[in-house]
Amino acid sequence: MILAAGLGTRLRPLTDRLPKPLLSIAGRPLIHYTLAWIASAGIRQVLINLHYHGERIREALGDGSRFGLEVSYSDEPEILGTGGGLKRVERFFADEPFLVVNADVLTTLDPRTLIAAHKARRPLATLAVRHDSDVAAYGAIGLDSDGRIRRFLGRGTWTGPALQDLMFTGIHVVDPRVFADIPAGVFSPITDAYIALVERGEPLFGYRTDAFWIDIGTPDRYALAERAAMDGLVPPPVFSSAPPTRR
């Protein structure tokens, strides 16, 4: 799932008439990079939630067939947040773990390695995390020596050895069991569910990555992302002519 319903307020006036996922990065819409990244994992079915200028995203991507993908949409008349947006489409993902990515993320992380890490342990969720000198601004995710998340945004009951503080990248593999901790029909961040799970001692793990990553949330970071793509730090989106064979 691509979480693309956000308002992009910090990028105004760039987002006054265009949703953030359609902003150009080196001549291509940001969401093209996201779709190519998903397709590189062999995933074919993609669901995108829509709210702000959602019709522009639908018009730009259609059914996804020209990308070798099957793209579906979830329209949110009232924005539901990163957790509520997932809860709204619970039936779509009810049978197996699924990959979630924020629409404003640009990364070279190999999604197949994240998926493999999740399959190896089968926790309720596996979050891609990274070191960042500004981790406090993003909110620290505390991992123990085995990579298990013991504190989430400062919450948790862990009393053991010191934890490694990393930041959440907005990329995660989620087991459908997480839906039980997300309220239906209301605005809800997925972080609320994760905090509740960590406080109960449920298994969530972090997958550390040192790959290139940036979230395009401000004009300065948008400029950095554009420069990274122009400099070749992020490859241009490429789509296979043959559709992937694995969900």
Residue 235 lies in a domain: no
Rounded-to-integer distance, Cα 158 and Cα 1, Å: 31
When divided into structural domains, the chain yields a total of 1
Task: Return the pLDDT at 226.
Answer: 93
Contact yes or no for 81/107 (Cβ under 8 A): no
List the domain range (segments joined by +) for residue 79: 2-230
pLDDT of residue 245: 43
245 within domain boundaries: no
pLDDT tens for each residue of the chain, 247 residues long: 999 998 878 888 878 888 999 999 999 999 999 999 999 999 999 999 999 888 999 999 999 999 999 999 999 999 999 999 999 999 999 789 999 999 999 999 999 999 999 999 999 999 999 998 877 777 899 999 999 999 998 888 888 898 999 999 999 999 999 999 999 999 999 999 999 999 999 999 999 999 999 999 899 989 999 999 999 999 989 887 544 444 4
Domain assignment present for 237: no
Using a cut of 0.85, tell me whether the model's pTM lies above it. Answer: yes
**For position 26, which CATH number holds?**
3.90.550.10
Is residue 9 situated within a structural domain? yes
In a domain, 103, yes or no: yes
Residues 133, 231, 4: CA angle, nearest 5 degrees: 65
Is position 208 within any domain? Answer: yes
Structure tokens given for 42: 């062999």
State the pLDDT at residue 239. 85
The closest of 49, 65, 46 to 57, measured between CA atoms, is: 49
**Contact call for residues 199 and 155 (beta carbons, < 8 A):** yes
- Strand 105-107 and strand 2-3: the pairing is unpaired
The pLDDT score that the predictor gives to residue 241 is 56
Report the pLDDT value the prediction gives residue 238, as an integer from 0 to 100.
86
